[in-house]
Structure 1
Amino acid sequence: MQQRPDWIPDGVDLEKPSAARCYDFYLGGAHNFEVDRELGRKVMEVVPNVKEIAVNNRAFLRRAVRYCLDQGIRQFLDIGSGIPTVGNVHEIAQAVDPEARVVYVDNEPVAVAHSRSILEGTDRATIVQADLLDVESVLDAPETRRMLDFSRPIAVMMVALVHFVPESSKPREVIRRYYERLPVGSYLGFSHVTGDHYMEGVQGLVKLYENSINPVTLRTRDEVAELISDFQLVEPGVVYVPDWRPDTQEDVWDNPERSIVYGAVGRKV
Protein backbone atom coordinates (compact mmCIF):
# COMPACT_ATOMS: atom_id res chain seq x y z
CA MET A 1 0.00 0.00 0.00
CA GLN A 2 1.54 3.27 -1.11
CA GLN A 3 1.59 6.28 1.19
CA ARG A 4 -1.66 8.17 0.90
CA PRO A 5 -1.31 11.86 -0.01
CA ASP A 6 -3.37 14.08 2.28
CA TRP A 7 -5.36 15.65 -0.58
CA ILE A 8 -6.96 12.36 -1.60
CA PRO A 9 -10.60 11.98 -0.50
CA ASP A 10 -11.48 9.18 1.90
CA GLY A 11 -12.68 6.02 0.20
CA VAL A 12 -10.47 6.29 -2.89
CA ASP A 13 -9.04 2.87 -3.78
CA LEU A 14 -5.32 3.29 -4.45
CA GLU A 15 -4.89 -0.41 -5.24
CA LYS A 16 -6.84 -0.31 -8.52
CA PRO A 17 -6.09 2.00 -11.45
CA SER A 18 -8.74 4.48 -12.55
CA ALA A 19 -9.49 5.52 -16.15
CA ALA A 20 -9.67 9.19 -15.15
CA ARG A 21 -6.29 9.07 -13.43
CA CYS A 22 -4.71 7.11 -16.33
CA TYR A 23 -6.03 9.73 -18.75
CA ASP A 24 -4.46 12.38 -16.53
CA PHE A 25 -1.17 10.46 -16.79
CA TYR A 26 -1.39 10.29 -20.61
CA LEU A 27 -1.98 14.06 -20.70
CA GLY A 28 1.04 14.72 -18.47
CA GLY A 29 -0.96 15.61 -15.35
CA ALA A 30 0.07 15.20 -11.73
CA HIS A 31 -3.10 13.74 -10.18
CA ASN A 32 -2.36 10.08 -10.73
CA PHE A 33 -0.74 7.35 -8.64
CA GLU A 34 1.83 4.65 -9.27
CA VAL A 35 -0.91 2.07 -9.85
CA ASP A 36 -2.26 4.31 -12.65
CA ARG A 37 1.18 4.98 -14.14
CA GLU A 38 1.97 1.26 -14.10
CA LEU A 39 -1.15 0.53 -16.16
CA GLY A 40 -0.44 3.52 -18.39
CA ARG A 41 3.06 2.27 -19.18
CA LYS A 42 1.68 -1.16 -20.06
CA VAL A 43 -0.92 0.44 -22.34
CA MET A 44 1.88 2.37 -24.06
CA GLU A 45 3.51 -0.95 -24.91
CA VAL A 46 0.44 -2.16 -26.87
CA VAL A 47 -0.76 1.28 -28.09
CA PRO A 48 2.48 3.29 -28.36
CA ASN A 49 0.74 6.51 -29.40
CA VAL A 50 -1.76 6.52 -26.52
CA LYS A 51 -0.53 9.90 -25.22
CA GLU A 52 -1.02 11.40 -28.68
CA ILE A 53 -4.48 9.82 -28.79
CA ALA A 54 -5.42 11.42 -25.45
CA VAL A 55 -4.22 14.85 -26.58
CA ASN A 56 -6.08 14.44 -29.87
CA ASN A 57 -9.28 13.49 -28.08
CA ARG A 58 -8.89 16.60 -25.92
CA ALA A 59 -8.57 18.64 -29.12
CA PHE A 60 -11.83 17.12 -30.37
CA LEU A 61 -13.51 18.26 -27.15
CA ARG A 62 -12.23 21.78 -27.80
CA ARG A 63 -13.57 21.80 -31.36
CA ALA A 64 -16.94 20.33 -30.32
CA VAL A 65 -17.38 22.99 -27.64
CA ARG A 66 -16.43 25.76 -30.04
CA TYR A 67 -18.85 24.41 -32.65
CA CYS A 68 -21.66 24.53 -30.10
CA LEU A 69 -20.66 28.06 -29.10
CA ASP A 70 -20.84 29.05 -32.78
CA GLN A 71 -24.41 27.73 -32.80
CA GLY A 72 -25.31 30.03 -29.92
CA ILE A 73 -25.06 27.50 -27.06
CA ARG A 74 -24.03 29.04 -23.75
CA GLN A 75 -24.76 26.11 -21.37
CA PHE A 76 -22.64 22.97 -21.13
CA LEU A 77 -22.94 19.70 -19.24
CA ASP A 78 -19.65 17.78 -19.37
CA ILE A 79 -20.29 14.22 -18.16
CA GLY A 80 -17.25 12.12 -17.36
CA SER A 81 -15.21 15.31 -17.27
CA GLY A 82 -12.24 13.66 -15.55
CA ILE A 83 -9.41 15.38 -13.75
CA PRO A 84 -9.17 19.04 -14.78
CA THR A 85 -6.34 19.95 -17.10
CA VAL A 86 -5.60 22.75 -19.56
CA GLY A 87 -8.48 23.37 -21.93
CA ASN A 88 -11.42 22.64 -19.66
CA VAL A 89 -14.89 23.29 -21.07
CA HIS A 90 -15.49 26.38 -18.93
CA GLU A 91 -12.17 27.87 -20.05
CA ILE A 92 -13.04 27.32 -23.72
CA ALA A 93 -16.62 28.54 -23.36
CA GLN A 94 -15.94 31.55 -21.14
CA ALA A 95 -13.14 32.76 -23.41
CA VAL A 96 -15.91 33.28 -25.98
CA ASP A 97 -18.61 34.41 -23.54
CA PRO A 98 -17.79 35.05 -19.87
CA GLU A 99 -21.47 34.44 -19.07
CA ALA A 100 -21.35 30.82 -20.33
CA ARG A 101 -22.28 28.24 -17.70
CA VAL A 102 -20.77 24.79 -17.22
CA VAL A 103 -21.63 21.79 -15.05
CA TYR A 104 -19.00 19.07 -14.81
CA VAL A 105 -20.00 15.55 -13.78
CA ASP A 106 -17.76 12.68 -12.72
CA ASN A 107 -17.97 9.68 -10.41
CA GLU A 108 -14.22 9.55 -9.70
CA PRO A 109 -13.55 11.07 -6.25
CA VAL A 110 -10.11 12.43 -7.17
CA ALA A 111 -11.52 14.13 -10.27
CA VAL A 112 -14.35 15.64 -8.25
CA ALA A 113 -12.12 16.81 -5.38
CA HIS A 114 -9.61 18.43 -7.72
CA SER A 115 -12.41 20.04 -9.77
CA ARG A 116 -13.93 21.55 -6.64
CA SER A 117 -10.56 23.00 -5.72
CA ILE A 118 -10.07 24.53 -9.18
CA LEU A 119 -13.62 25.86 -9.42
CA GLU A 120 -13.68 27.43 -5.96
CA GLY A 121 -14.72 31.04 -6.34
CA THR A 122 -16.07 30.46 -9.87
CA ASP A 123 -19.77 31.26 -9.97
CA ARG A 124 -20.50 30.02 -13.53
CA ALA A 125 -19.07 26.49 -13.30
CA THR A 126 -19.60 23.68 -10.82
CA ILE A 127 -19.01 19.94 -10.35
CA VAL A 128 -21.47 17.16 -9.52
CA GLN A 129 -20.35 13.77 -8.24
CA ALA A 130 -22.62 11.32 -10.06
CA ASP A 131 -22.57 8.46 -12.54
CA LEU A 132 -23.61 8.78 -16.19
CA LEU A 133 -25.99 5.84 -15.72
CA ASP A 134 -27.94 7.62 -12.97
CA VAL A 135 -29.62 10.16 -15.21
CA GLU A 136 -31.70 11.73 -12.45
CA SER A 137 -28.68 12.21 -10.17
CA VAL A 138 -26.96 14.09 -13.00
CA LEU A 139 -29.83 16.20 -14.33
CA ASP A 140 -31.69 16.81 -11.08
CA ALA A 141 -28.71 17.54 -8.87
CA PRO A 142 -29.17 20.89 -7.08
CA GLU A 143 -25.97 22.19 -8.67
CA THR A 144 -27.19 21.26 -12.15
CA ARG A 145 -30.62 22.84 -11.68
CA ARG A 146 -29.09 25.98 -10.23
CA MET A 147 -26.53 26.40 -13.01
CA LEU A 148 -28.46 25.34 -16.13
CA ASP A 149 -31.73 26.63 -17.57
CA PHE A 150 -33.57 23.63 -19.03
CA SER A 151 -35.87 25.88 -21.05
CA ARG A 152 -32.88 26.75 -23.27
CA PRO A 153 -30.59 24.48 -25.32
CA ILE A 154 -27.72 22.74 -23.56
CA ALA A 155 -24.63 21.08 -25.02
CA VAL A 156 -23.86 17.75 -23.35
CA MET A 157 -20.35 16.34 -23.70
CA MET A 158 -19.78 12.58 -23.39
CA VAL A 159 -16.17 12.47 -24.54
CA ALA A 160 -14.12 9.28 -24.09
CA LEU A 161 -16.78 8.05 -21.67
CA VAL A 162 -19.28 5.52 -23.02
CA HIS A 163 -16.65 2.91 -23.94
CA PHE A 164 -16.52 2.38 -20.16
CA VAL A 165 -20.21 1.38 -20.20
CA PRO A 166 -20.87 -2.33 -20.91
CA GLU A 167 -23.81 -3.49 -23.00
CA SER A 168 -25.37 -4.91 -19.84
CA SER A 169 -25.88 -1.31 -18.65
CA LYS A 170 -27.85 -0.50 -21.83
CA PRO A 171 -25.96 2.64 -22.91
CA ARG A 172 -28.32 3.23 -25.85
CA GLU A 173 -31.26 3.57 -23.47
CA VAL A 174 -29.27 5.76 -21.09
CA ILE A 175 -28.35 8.21 -23.87
CA ARG A 176 -31.99 8.26 -25.01
CA ARG A 177 -33.06 9.29 -21.50
CA TYR A 178 -30.70 12.26 -21.67
CA TYR A 179 -32.04 13.08 -25.13
CA GLU A 180 -35.62 13.06 -23.85
CA ARG A 181 -34.80 15.45 -21.00
CA LEU A 182 -32.91 17.98 -23.13
CA PRO A 183 -34.60 20.98 -24.77
CA VAL A 184 -34.95 21.05 -28.56
CA GLY A 185 -31.85 22.66 -30.07
CA SER A 186 -29.51 20.97 -27.60
CA TYR A 187 -26.33 19.24 -28.74
CA LEU A 188 -24.34 16.12 -27.86
CA GLY A 189 -20.56 15.93 -28.29
CA PHE A 190 -19.49 12.28 -28.28
CA SER A 191 -16.34 10.20 -28.70
CA HIS A 192 -15.72 6.47 -28.29
CA VAL A 193 -12.82 4.01 -28.63
CA THR A 194 -13.12 1.46 -31.44
CA GLY A 195 -11.36 -1.67 -32.67
CA ASP A 196 -12.27 -1.14 -36.33
CA HIS A 197 -8.56 -0.73 -37.13
CA TYR A 198 -5.43 -1.81 -35.23
CA MET A 199 -7.52 -4.45 -33.51
CA GLU A 200 -4.57 -6.31 -32.01
CA GLY A 201 -3.23 -3.30 -30.13
CA VAL A 202 -6.68 -2.13 -29.07
CA GLN A 203 -7.58 -5.60 -27.79
CA GLY A 204 -4.39 -5.43 -25.72
CA LEU A 205 -5.64 -2.16 -24.22
CA VAL A 206 -9.00 -3.76 -23.41
CA LYS A 207 -7.24 -6.67 -21.72
CA LEU A 208 -5.14 -4.35 -19.59
CA TYR A 209 -8.18 -2.34 -18.44
CA GLU A 210 -10.09 -5.47 -17.40
CA ASN A 211 -8.75 -5.28 -13.84
CA SER A 212 -9.12 -1.53 -13.49
CA ILE A 213 -12.11 0.28 -12.01
CA ASN A 214 -13.22 1.01 -15.59
CA PRO A 215 -13.16 -1.93 -18.06
CA VAL A 216 -13.45 -0.97 -21.76
CA THR A 217 -16.05 -2.08 -24.33
CA LEU A 218 -15.09 -1.56 -27.98
CA ARG A 219 -17.77 -0.64 -30.52
CA THR A 220 -17.76 -0.38 -34.29
CA ARG A 221 -18.59 2.77 -36.22
CA ASP A 222 -22.13 1.48 -36.83
CA GLU A 223 -22.56 0.70 -33.13
CA VAL A 224 -21.32 4.17 -32.15
CA ALA A 225 -23.73 5.74 -34.65
CA GLU A 226 -26.58 3.68 -33.21
CA LEU A 227 -25.82 4.84 -29.66
CA ILE A 228 -26.42 8.48 -30.62
CA SER A 229 -28.99 7.96 -33.37
CA ASP A 230 -31.69 10.03 -31.63
CA PHE A 231 -29.60 13.09 -32.45
CA GLN A 232 -29.33 14.56 -35.94
CA LEU A 233 -25.62 14.41 -36.70
CA VAL A 234 -23.85 17.46 -38.05
CA GLU A 235 -21.33 17.06 -40.85
CA PRO A 236 -19.13 15.05 -41.17
CA GLY A 237 -21.08 12.56 -39.00
CA VAL A 238 -19.26 9.76 -37.15
CA VAL A 239 -15.58 9.92 -38.13
CA TYR A 240 -12.20 9.37 -36.55
CA VAL A 241 -11.65 12.38 -34.32
CA PRO A 242 -8.79 13.95 -36.33
CA ASP A 243 -11.26 14.16 -39.25
CA TRP A 244 -13.95 15.95 -37.23
CA ARG A 245 -13.70 19.59 -38.38
CA PRO A 246 -9.93 20.05 -37.83
CA ASP A 247 -9.11 23.72 -37.37
CA THR A 248 -5.31 23.61 -37.14
CA GLN A 249 -2.66 21.58 -38.94
CA GLU A 250 -1.91 19.85 -35.63
CA ASP A 251 -5.43 18.40 -35.67
CA VAL A 252 -4.85 16.67 -39.03
CA TRP A 253 -3.42 13.14 -39.08
CA ASP A 254 -2.10 11.33 -42.17
CA ASN A 255 -3.70 8.14 -40.81
CA PRO A 256 -6.68 9.26 -38.70
CA GLU A 257 -7.61 5.66 -37.88
CA ARG A 258 -4.51 5.58 -35.66
CA SER A 259 -6.53 7.72 -33.23
CA ILE A 260 -8.70 4.60 -32.52
CA VAL A 261 -11.48 6.99 -31.45
CA TYR A 262 -14.65 7.96 -33.31
CA GLY A 263 -16.20 11.35 -32.68
CA ALA A 264 -19.44 13.09 -33.61
CA VAL A 265 -21.69 15.98 -32.67
CA GLY A 266 -25.45 15.72 -32.91
CA ARG A 267 -28.40 18.08 -32.42
CA LYS A 268 -31.84 17.47 -30.94
CA VAL A 269 -34.40 18.61 -33.53
Structure 2
Amino acid sequence: GSGLPTAENTHQIAQRFDRSASVVYVDNDPVVLAHGRALLATNDATHILDANIFEPDQVLNHDLVTTHLDFDEPIAVLLLSVMHHHLDTAECARIVRRYADALPADSYLALSHLIDPETPGLTPVAKGLEQVALNSKMGSGTFRTRAEIETLTALDGYDMLPPGPGEAPAVVACDRWWPDGPVEPLTPTQECFAGVVLRKR
Protein backbone atom coordinates (compact mmCIF):
# COMPACT_ATOMS: atom_id res chain seq x y z
CA GLY A 1 0.00 0.00 0.00
CA SER A 2 1.03 3.58 -0.60
CA GLY A 3 0.22 5.00 2.82
CA LEU A 4 -1.52 7.93 1.12
CA PRO A 5 -2.72 10.32 2.32
CA THR A 6 -0.74 11.13 5.45
CA ALA A 7 1.40 13.89 6.86
CA GLU A 8 4.90 13.98 5.37
CA ASN A 9 4.26 11.65 2.46
CA THR A 10 7.27 9.94 0.86
CA HIS A 11 7.30 12.22 -2.19
CA GLN A 12 7.22 15.34 -0.02
CA ILE A 13 10.29 14.22 1.92
CA ALA A 14 12.20 13.06 -1.17
CA GLN A 15 11.42 16.19 -3.17
CA ARG A 16 12.35 18.44 -0.27
CA PHE A 17 15.92 17.20 -0.75
CA ASP A 18 15.77 16.84 -4.53
CA ARG A 19 12.94 18.58 -6.36
CA SER A 20 13.49 16.37 -9.41
CA ALA A 21 13.09 13.10 -7.46
CA SER A 22 10.57 10.80 -9.13
CA VAL A 23 8.23 8.76 -6.90
CA VAL A 24 5.79 6.00 -7.86
CA TYR A 25 3.32 4.80 -5.24
CA VAL A 26 1.61 1.41 -5.56
CA ASP A 27 -1.87 0.68 -4.20
CA ASN A 28 -5.05 -1.11 -5.25
CA ASP A 29 -7.52 0.39 -2.77
CA PRO A 30 -10.02 2.49 -4.79
CA VAL A 31 -10.42 5.04 -1.99
CA VAL A 32 -6.66 5.46 -1.59
CA LEU A 33 -6.22 5.72 -5.35
CA ALA A 34 -8.84 8.48 -5.54
CA HIS A 35 -7.27 10.45 -2.68
CA GLY A 36 -3.79 9.88 -4.09
CA ARG A 37 -4.66 11.07 -7.58
CA ALA A 38 -6.30 14.20 -6.17
CA LEU A 39 -3.29 14.89 -3.95
CA LEU A 40 -0.80 14.38 -6.78
CA ALA A 41 -2.74 16.13 -9.55
CA THR A 42 -0.27 19.02 -9.74
CA ASN A 43 2.92 17.03 -9.10
CA ASP A 44 4.43 15.88 -12.39
CA ALA A 45 7.21 13.91 -10.69
CA THR A 46 4.93 11.73 -8.55
CA HIS A 47 2.54 9.04 -9.73
CA ILE A 48 0.29 6.38 -8.22
CA LEU A 49 -0.04 2.95 -9.80
CA ASP A 50 -3.16 0.81 -9.48
CA ALA A 51 -1.53 -2.58 -8.90
CA ASN A 52 -0.99 -5.32 -6.34
CA ILE A 53 2.32 -4.83 -4.50
CA PHE A 54 2.47 -8.63 -4.09
CA GLU A 55 2.77 -9.00 -7.88
CA PRO A 56 6.26 -7.57 -8.45
CA ASP A 57 6.44 -8.36 -12.16
CA GLN A 58 3.16 -6.51 -12.72
CA VAL A 59 4.58 -3.52 -10.86
CA LEU A 60 8.10 -3.52 -12.29
CA ASN A 61 6.96 -3.91 -15.90
CA HIS A 62 4.20 -1.31 -15.76
CA ASP A 63 4.57 1.74 -18.01
CA LEU A 64 4.35 4.13 -15.05
CA VAL A 65 7.36 2.46 -13.46
CA THR A 66 9.47 2.00 -16.59
CA THR A 67 8.72 5.55 -17.76
CA HIS A 68 9.26 7.46 -14.53
CA LEU A 69 11.95 5.47 -12.71
CA ASP A 70 15.48 5.28 -14.13
CA PHE A 71 16.86 1.80 -13.45
CA ASP A 72 20.33 2.99 -14.42
CA GLU A 73 20.36 5.14 -11.27
CA PRO A 74 19.92 4.15 -7.59
CA ILE A 75 16.31 3.57 -6.52
CA ALA A 76 14.71 3.12 -3.09
CA VAL A 77 11.96 0.52 -2.66
CA LEU A 78 9.89 0.96 0.51
CA LEU A 79 7.96 -2.13 1.62
CA LEU A 80 6.55 -0.57 4.76
CA SER A 81 3.86 -2.36 6.77
CA VAL A 82 2.77 -4.42 3.78
CA MET A 83 4.55 -7.78 3.95
CA HIS A 84 2.84 -8.79 7.19
CA HIS A 85 -0.40 -8.85 5.20
CA HIS A 86 0.95 -11.80 3.18
CA LEU A 87 0.64 -15.02 5.15
CA ASP A 88 2.97 -17.23 3.08
CA THR A 89 6.52 -16.64 4.33
CA ALA A 90 8.16 -18.40 1.37
CA GLU A 91 6.15 -16.29 -1.08
CA CYS A 92 7.04 -13.15 0.90
CA ALA A 93 10.71 -14.00 0.46
CA ARG A 94 10.20 -14.45 -3.29
CA ILE A 95 8.44 -11.09 -3.59
CA VAL A 96 11.13 -9.22 -1.65
CA ARG A 97 13.87 -10.94 -3.65
CA ARG A 98 12.20 -10.05 -6.97
CA TYR A 99 12.14 -6.34 -6.10
CA ALA A 100 15.69 -6.53 -4.78
CA ASP A 101 16.99 -8.25 -7.91
CA ALA A 102 15.51 -5.54 -10.14
CA LEU A 103 17.40 -2.69 -8.48
CA PRO A 104 20.72 -1.26 -9.68
CA ALA A 105 23.82 -0.91 -7.50
CA ASP A 106 23.70 1.63 -4.64
CA SER A 107 19.92 1.23 -4.35
CA TYR A 108 18.10 0.80 -1.04
CA LEU A 109 15.34 -1.52 0.12
CA ALA A 110 13.52 -0.75 3.37
CA LEU A 111 11.06 -3.12 5.00
CA SER A 112 8.96 -2.79 8.13
CA HIS A 113 6.91 -5.58 9.65
CA LEU A 114 4.78 -6.54 12.63
CA ILE A 115 6.97 -8.73 14.83
CA ASP A 116 6.74 -10.82 17.95
CA PRO A 117 9.57 -9.58 20.22
CA GLU A 118 9.29 -12.95 21.99
CA THR A 119 9.07 -11.59 25.51
CA PRO A 120 6.31 -12.36 28.05
CA GLY A 121 5.20 -8.74 28.10
CA LEU A 122 5.19 -8.11 24.34
CA THR A 123 4.06 -11.39 22.74
CA PRO A 124 0.42 -10.77 23.85
CA VAL A 125 0.64 -7.27 22.33
CA ALA A 126 1.86 -8.73 19.02
CA LYS A 127 -0.98 -11.26 19.05
CA GLY A 128 -3.47 -8.46 19.68
CA LEU A 129 -2.09 -6.43 16.77
CA GLU A 130 -2.32 -9.51 14.57
CA GLN A 131 -6.03 -9.75 15.40
CA VAL A 132 -6.49 -6.07 14.55
CA ALA A 133 -4.95 -6.73 11.12
CA LEU A 134 -7.07 -9.84 10.58
CA ASN A 135 -10.21 -7.85 11.37
CA SER A 136 -9.23 -4.87 9.21
CA LYS A 137 -10.58 -4.31 5.70
CA MET A 138 -7.49 -6.09 4.34
CA GLY A 139 -8.53 -9.18 6.29
CA SER A 140 -5.00 -10.49 6.70
CA GLY A 141 -2.02 -10.04 8.93
CA THR A 142 0.59 -12.04 10.75
CA PHE A 143 3.54 -11.29 12.97
CA ARG A 144 6.92 -12.86 12.34
CA THR A 145 9.91 -13.11 14.63
CA ARG A 146 12.98 -10.92 14.33
CA ALA A 147 14.90 -13.98 13.09
CA GLU A 148 12.30 -14.56 10.37
CA ILE A 149 12.62 -10.93 9.21
CA GLU A 150 16.40 -11.35 9.09
CA THR A 151 15.94 -14.43 6.91
CA LEU A 152 13.40 -12.61 4.72
CA THR A 153 15.88 -9.80 4.08
CA ALA A 154 19.06 -11.89 3.76
CA LEU A 155 19.57 -10.92 0.13
CA ASP A 156 22.60 -11.67 -2.02
CA GLY A 157 24.49 -8.50 -2.88
CA TYR A 158 22.90 -6.43 -0.11
CA ASP A 159 24.28 -5.11 3.17
CA MET A 160 22.08 -4.44 6.20
CA LEU A 161 22.59 -0.92 7.55
CA PRO A 162 22.91 0.12 11.20
CA PRO A 163 19.95 2.05 12.63
CA GLY A 164 22.19 4.77 14.03
CA PRO A 165 25.79 5.92 14.50
CA GLY A 166 27.91 3.45 16.43
CA GLU A 167 25.26 0.70 16.24
CA ALA A 168 25.50 -2.69 14.61
CA PRO A 169 23.33 -3.52 11.58
CA ALA A 170 20.12 -5.08 12.88
CA VAL A 171 16.37 -5.47 12.61
CA VAL A 172 15.13 -3.05 15.27
CA ALA A 173 11.91 -1.34 16.31
CA CYS A 174 11.06 1.24 13.65
CA ASP A 175 11.02 4.05 16.19
CA ARG A 176 14.67 3.33 17.02
CA TRP A 177 15.64 4.51 13.54
CA TRP A 178 16.70 7.96 14.73
CA PRO A 179 20.24 9.39 14.58
CA ASP A 180 20.15 9.94 18.34
CA GLY A 181 17.59 7.30 19.31
CA PRO A 182 13.86 7.78 19.94
CA VAL A 183 12.81 10.95 21.73
CA GLU A 184 10.70 9.07 24.28
CA PRO A 185 10.57 5.48 25.59
CA LEU A 186 8.77 3.21 23.14
CA THR A 187 5.25 1.98 23.77
CA PRO A 188 4.53 -1.78 23.64
CA THR A 189 2.90 -1.29 20.22
CA GLN A 190 5.98 0.52 18.88
CA GLU A 191 8.16 -2.35 20.10
CA CYS A 192 6.12 -4.70 17.89
CA PHE A 193 6.90 -2.97 14.60
CA ALA A 194 10.44 -3.56 13.37
CA GLY A 195 12.29 -2.26 10.36
CA VAL A 196 15.41 -2.92 8.36
CA VAL A 197 17.22 -0.99 5.62
CA LEU A 198 19.43 -2.70 3.05
CA ARG A 199 21.85 -1.22 0.52
CA LYS A 200 22.80 -2.97 -2.71
CA ARG A 201 26.51 -3.24 -3.39
Query: Where do residues 19-168 of structure 1 align in structure 2 (5 Å cutoff)?
Result: 80-167=1-88
For residue 185 of structure 2, the aligned residue among 249, 254, 260 is 254
Are the aligned partners of 1:240 and 1:257 in contact in 2 as well (CA < 8 Å)?
no
For residue 183 of structure 1, the aligned residue among 104, 109, 117 is 104
Query: Where do residues 199-238 of structure 1 align in structure 2 (5 Å cutoff)?
Result: 199-212=123-136, 213-230=138-155, 231-236=158-163, 237-238=170-171
Aligned-pair CA distance for 1:101 = 0.9
Matched, 1:265 2:189: no
Are the aligned partners of 1:157 and 1:189 in contact in 2 as well (CA < 8 Å)?
yes
- Matched residues, number: 188
Q: TM-score, normalised by structure 1?
A: 0.65
> Distance in 2 between the 1:238 and 1:207 partners?
23
Aligned-pair CA distance for 1:144 = 1.1
> Distance in 1 between the 2:187 and 2:62 partners?
38
- Distance 1:85-1:141 versus aligned 2 partners, 3 A rule: same
Q: 1:27-49, CA deviations, whole angstroms, 9 ceiling, x for partnerless residues?
A: xxxxxxxxxxxxxxxxxxxxxxx
> Could you tell me which amino acid in structure 2 is paired with residue 170 of structure 1?
E
Percent identical across equivalent pairs? 36
Considering fraction of residues, name the structure with more helix.
1
> Distance in 1 between the 2:66 and 2:134 partners?
35
Aligned-pair CA distance for 1:164 = 0.6
> Could you tell me which amino acid in structure 2 is paired with residue 262 of structure 1?
A
For residue 92 of structure 2, the aligned residue among 168, 171, 177 is 171
> Could you tell me which amino acid in structure 2 is paired with residue 232 of structure 1?
D
Aligned-pair CA distance for 1:257 = 5.6
> Could you tell me which amino acid in structure 1 is paired with residue 171 of structure 2?
V
1:12 aligned residue: none
Describe the SS at the equivalent of 2:52.
Answer: coil
List gaps (5 residues or longer) in structure 2: 164-169
Considering fraction of residues, name the structure with more strand.
2
- Distance 1:169-1:127 versus aligned 2 partners, 3 A rule: farther
Describe the SS at the equivalent of 1:170.
Answer: helix
- Distance 1:184-1:256 versus aligned 2 partners, 3 A rule: farther
> Could you tell me which amino acid in structure 2 is paired with residue 99 of structure 1?
S
> Could you tell me which amino acid in structure 1 is paired with residue 193 of structure 2?
V
Are the aligned partners of 1:190 and 1:264 in contact in 2 as well (CA < 8 Å)?
yes
Q: 1:11-56, CA deviations, whole angstroms, 9 ceiling, x for partnerless residues?
A: xxxxxxxxxxxxxxxxxxxxxxxxxxxxxxxxxxxxxxxxxxxxxx
> Distance in 2 between the 1:114 and 1:137 partners?
22
Describe the SS at the equivalent of 2:197.
Answer: strand
> Distance in 2 between the 1:268 and 1:97 partners?
21
Are the aligned partners of 2:116 and 2:146 in contact in 1 as well (CA < 8 Å)?
no
> Distance in 2 between the 1:96 and 1:113 partners?
27
Are the aligned partners of 1:83 and 1:110 in contact in 2 as well (CA < 8 Å)?
no
